Amino acid sequence: MSLTGLGLRAAIRPGVRPGIRPGRLCVAIAAACLSFFAGAAGADSLPPLPKIGVTGSDDRVRVDSTSWPWIAIGRINLEGRGHCTGTLVAPDLVLTAAHCLWNAPDGRWGIPLETHFVAGYDRGSYAAHSRGRAFIFDPEYDPARRLQVFGMARDWVLVELEKKLDIRPVPLAQLDWPALYRLGQAGEMTNAGYSSDWPEIAMRDAGCQAEKIFAEQPLVLHNCDATFGASGGPLLRMQGDRVEVVGVQSGAIQLKATATQPAGEELSAAVPVWRFFGAARR
């Protein structure tokens, strides 16, 4: 099956989830961006890329995109502009990062009908495909601040699809801060996505931890390995047969030096689930 689409326009709607009062974090933002297509040749032909968000040993492993929950995770292909990662959270609703859909060179949002979700993508094969119909994003999200903590904490979007997909979605978790912190400290998180260095297959880092959780600017800083192209991928709770989305990958940050913290430590950043839970339920 080939990926095709028509250049038609559709609606872009803001979400209505209320904001959380602003706060301050002592961080320096690295970069958060989408990956450009590398073609069917795969990762072996890619030029070297900076792996922001992958520190120390690379702990990512390949997933079986024909089995659940990985079949519900796929690429969001943007006609002529590259790709990000998305997760089917309802039969016709895909969760990803807002910055993936912002066309920075043109200073405008992408067109929903030129946004393609391919579930369970693996080297040209996939389980299901639909174009977007509309975007629902955080009303406080500002693309001009996408590399600031304020922007990263609101960096989510729900893509309404043209049609329902016959794939079991990954449910959204109902967690508060203490529950998510306990989960993160136990090392029971995993992150999956289609990174720039492996754009044709989904990779994940399992058993990673939440290093820091900030409530005022809602961000989960975790040590799952994730780099360019994995933006929009899910942060998952996996406990036995229970799999739930607890966050969505926004990018990576670099912590500033403190008396006890050396400079240069990089952590991945995810928007916690309660930031978009209400919009998804509505």
| Number of C-beta neighbours around residue 22 at 10 A | 11
Confidence of residue 10 (pLDDT cuts 50, 70, 90): very low
pLDDT for the residue 35: 36
Average predicted confidence (pLDDT) for the chain: 76
Q: pLDDT tens across 46-90, in order?
A: 444 445 545 556 667 888 999 999 999 999 998 777 888 999 999
Rounded to an integer, the average pLDDT of 201-215 is 78
Q: Is 173 a residue whose pLDDT tops 70?
A: yes
| Number of C-beta neighbours around residue 17 at 10 A | 21
pLDDT for the residue 38: 29
What is the CB-side half-sphere exposure of residue 242 using CA atoms within 13 A?
8
The CATH superfamily holding the domain 24-39+59-281 is Trypsin-like serine proteases (2.40.10.10)
Q: Which of 110-124, 169-183, 210-224 has the highest mean pLDDT?
A: 110-124
Q: State pTM to two decimals.
A: 0.78
Percent of the chain with pLDDT over 90: 39
pLDDT for the residue 262: 61
Give the β-pairing of 102-103 and 219-222: unpaired
Q: pLDDT tens across 234-280, in order?
A: 999 888 788 999 999 988 777 776 766 666 667 888 999 989 999 99
Least confident of 35-44, 107-116, 161-170, 211-220: 35-44
Q: Which of 213, 177, 184, 155 is nearest to 25 (CA)?
A: 213
Q: Which of 219, 252, 213, 248 is nearest to 234 (CA)?
A: 248
Q: Is 6 a residue whose pLDDT tops 80?
A: no
Give me 191's structure tokens: 């992150």
